[in-house]
């Protein structure tokens, strides 16, 4: 992967998509430093996982951080009947997103401005807050609880397999703890 020091490093960009219960539905590793091209393959993998598990419920929302924003990704999710909520930029720590808009959305806004406005609505803020409570803890748990901080293997195919094994372990622990709580 090309890195900021104008060289190349042996590394991967780990991706994960999860449901509200923090179960990872899709996991992949790419050699691309940017997340923009990962929406379509991750969404496809999620749909295939749900189909294989015989889950009839469809993906309703695409809650993603700013690294995934592009007009093409918004259109892709809309075509798949998943309402996109993709951050258009990063806020500094403790920075407010802005005033909650009222009334109809103006016609003359660009696609990016429309998404930014949508994210400032009550619904947009609530769903973005949910995203932070779904996917961010997963990566924290993988790093802190499982102690996974770097890939041990080399080569994209091997680190992809390693990442999927880590994600499987995360899911198994989630399910085990859920059953343990229910059975007391």
Indicate the pTM of the whole model.
0.82
Sorted by where each begins, the domain ranges of the chain are 13-179
* Distance, CA of 166 to CA of 44 (rounded, Å): 20
Where do the H-state alpha helices sit in 10-155?
39-52, 71-79, 111-120, 122-144
72-76 contact pairs (CB < 8 A, 24+): 73/36, 73/39, 73/40, 74/111, 74/115, 76/39, 76/40, 76/43
* Residue 69 · residue 115 · CB < 8 Å: yes
pLDDT band with cut points at 50, 70 and 90 for residue 65? confident
Report the candidate in 85, 90, 92, 94 with the shortest Cα–Cα distance to residue 117: 85
Model confidence over 5-45: pLDDT tens digits? Answer: 665 556 789 999 999 999 999 999 998 888 999 999 999 99
């Amino acid at each position: 992967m090309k890195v900021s020091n104008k060289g190349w490093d042996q590394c991967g960009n780990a991706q994960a998509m999860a449901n509200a219960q923090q179960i990872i539905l899709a996991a992949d590793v790419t050699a691309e430093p940017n997340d923009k091209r990962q929406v379509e393959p991750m969404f496809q993998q999620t749909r295939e996982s749900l189909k294989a598990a015989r889950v009839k419920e469809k993906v309703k929302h695409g809650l993603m951080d700013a690294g995934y924003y592009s007009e093409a990704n918004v259109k892709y999710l809309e075509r798949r009947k998943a309402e996109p909520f993709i951050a258009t930029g990063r806020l500094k720590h403790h920075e407010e997103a802005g005033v909650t808009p009222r009334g109809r959305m103006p016609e003359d806004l660009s696609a990016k401005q429309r998404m930014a406005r949508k994210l400032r609505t009550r619904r947009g803020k609530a769903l973005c807050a949910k995203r932070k409570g779904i996917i961010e803890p997963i990566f924290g748990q993988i790093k802190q609880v499982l102690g996974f901080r770097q890939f041990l293997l080399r080569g994209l195919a091997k680190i992809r397999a390693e990442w999927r094994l880590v994600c499987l372990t995360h899911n198994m622990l989630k399910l085990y703890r859920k059953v343990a709580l229910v059975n007391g």
